[in-house]
Amino acid sequence: MGGGNSIADGLLTLAGILQRDSGRGVETITLSPEAEQTLRNLPAAFKNLSRRPPSIASPVGTPPGLPEKRSVEPVAAPVPVHRHAEERQTEAQAREQLNTIFKAVKNCPECRALGTLFETVVFASGNPLADIMFVGEAPGAEEEKLKKPFVGPAGQKLEQILKAMGLKREDVYISNIVKFRPKKGDGRFQGSTNRPPQPDEMAASLKYIQAEIGVVRPRVIVALGRTAAEGLLEKGGTLASFRNGDHEFEGIPVIVTYHPSYLLRQESESNPEQAMQAKRVVWEDMLKVMERAGMSISEKQRGYFS
Ligand code: URA
């Protein structure tokens, strides 16, 4: 980790712990392994401070992957994932690399060869240096229209979840495994209906999300729903089995939770108990995400469902 960033991380972690435990009469504190490691890194980070420049830029509001406004040379190979946090990009570098990936997606021969996906690329949006990356399965009709992920009803539900976490869309990075809306049949009579992506469609697209993760290097990845988890982790499972397991992608923890569409379906199925239970589960997962991201969590947030 860069010295300045490690210090900022360590101090933020410490502040979060103190804030969490203040006023509760707590005499001993329990640290997550990540928080412990972050604090352990502090002394070395102070030593390194004079040798390393700070490297993390502030969040931005404009989405990455808007090639019309940029003039970056296309490259054939996606960016490798194996970068140490010390080498974290500046925001401009990250945007440029994401733009390169966007251009590679446009030509994705493996995706085109399948013939099962529509033409329009729906890339990613949000902060190119976000601590939290949300990964969905594939865009739907509304996303295709606006060329932006999670802008339909599922996106509105995702924004509600983010709001409860104290975040806005622009604070996180939002993407999908598959970057094209899947066709039903030949797509001619599909209207605005959607379908989840198939394994071959996810396999053809995996290198792009992998490359995005390599650029953004979030502290935690959230896989939204079983399909996204299967595509990202390249293994089958139930949502429950994914939720109960520990997962990582290239060393970054992956937390699997219900897709926002599932919450919407539960809400519309007039079973308030079940809908509330699904929300509770997602919120439990989001608290884990916030911990992994080193965010401070208020008492109110901890107690939303108690
Ligand atoms: N569902 C997804 O998985 N992704 C989107 O972008 C929209 C809905």
pLDDT in tens, the chain (306 residues): 334 344 444 544 454 444 444 444 445 555 655 556 555 555 444 333 333 222 222 233 333 333 332 222 333 344 444 444 555 679 999 999 999 999 999 999 999 999 999 999 999 999 999 999 999 999 999 999 999 999 999 999 999 999 999 999 999 999 999 999 999 999 999 999 999 999 999 999 999 999 999 999 999 999 999 999 999 999 999 999 999 999 999 999 999 999 999 999 999 997 899 999 999 999 999 999 999 999 999 999 999 998
Per the domain annotation, does 118 fall within a domain?
yes
Q: Which one of 120, 133, 173, 176 would you pick to mutate in the ligand 1 pocket, going by the greatest count of ligand atoms within 8 A of its CB?
A: 176
How far apart CA 148 and CA 179 sit, in angstroms, is 10
The parent domain of residue 95 ranges over 67-76+90-302
Closest CA to 232 of 245, 218, 219, 221: 221
Question: Does any ligand 1 atom lie closer than 6 A to the CB of residue 140?
Answer: yes
Residue 85 within a domain: no
**Which of 125, 137, 263 is the best mutation target for the ligand 1 pocket, counting ligand atoms within 8 Å of the beta carbon and taking the most?**
137
Q: Is any atom of ligand 1 closer than 6 Å to the C-beta of 63?
A: no
Evaluate whether residue 38 is within a structural domain: no
CATH code of the domain containing 140: 3.40.470.10
- What is the reported pLDDT for 270? 79
Verify whether ligand 1 is closer than 6 Å to residue 137 (CB atom): yes
Residues 6+ apart with CB under 8 A from 275: 263, 266, 267, 269
Q: What domain count does the chain have? A: 1
Is residue 32, in this structure, part of any structural domain at all?
Answer: no
Q: Tell me how far the alpha carbon of residue 299 lies from the centroid of ligand 1, in angstroms.
A: 31
Residue 195 lies in a domain: yes
What are the angstrom distances between the C-alpha of 220 and each of 129, 162, 188?
12, 14, 39
pTM exceeds cut of 0.85: no
Rounded to the nearest whole angstrom, what is the distance from the C-alpha of residue 239 to the centroid of ligand 1?
17
Question: Which of the listed residues 175, 239, 261, 265 should we mutate to test ligand 1's pocket, taking the one with most ligand atoms within 8 A of CB?
Answer: 261
Residue 27 burial (CB < 10 Å; 0-12/13-18/19+)? Answer: exposed
* Residue 46 domain-assigned (yes or no): no
Provide the pLDDT for residue 75.
30
Q: 176 CB less than 6 Å from ligand 1? A: yes
Asked whether residue 12 is assigned to any structural domain, the reply reads: no
Is 98 within a domain? Answer: yes
